[in-house]
Amino acid sequence: MTIEEKMEEISETFDFLEGLEKMEYVVDMAKKSPGLTDEMKNESTKILGCMSETWVVVQGDASRVEIQSDSEAQIVKGMLYLLGEAINGHSKEEILSLDEQEALNKLGLGGSITNRRMNGFASAILKIKEETKKL
């Protein structure tokens, strides 16, 4: 499956949920996230532009990229977990082609979160792309 197809699949899940149910689902996804070790949470992995303390680690090579993330905010942690579900295992090229402004809409969360969280999520994607370029 492509990143777009995976995002569409995630979005379809949100189509069945209403109002607060969407955020409850995101928090449930946060609980599935293994998070990061304390050693992995440092200035080089920190996402600037997020309201909460949030980190992302990008690993792999040009043909297969994997992200791991963590956040003090459960909603952010869940959103990043869903993003990881969509992009993990894909190529550097595919990840670099992601539109950080459209990703939330493609995941089905566009109208469900505040502008601040949307900006923070866009910052997370920019950080992922920045780190992916180094692979």
- The answer to whether 50 and 59 are in contact (CB under 8 A) is no
Which uninterrupted H or E stretch holds 122?
Answer: helix 115-133
Q: What is the pLDDT of residues 104-134, one digit of tens each?
A: 889 888 777 777 888 888 999 999 999 999 9
Contacts of 100 (CB under 8 A, 6+ apart): 121, 122, 125, 126, 129
Domain architecture of the chain: domains with CATH: 3-133 (3.90.1010.10)
Residue 26's pLDDT band (cuts 50, 70, 90):
very high
Instruction: Evaluate if residue 74 carries a pLDDT over 80.
Output: yes
Quote the pTM value: 0.94
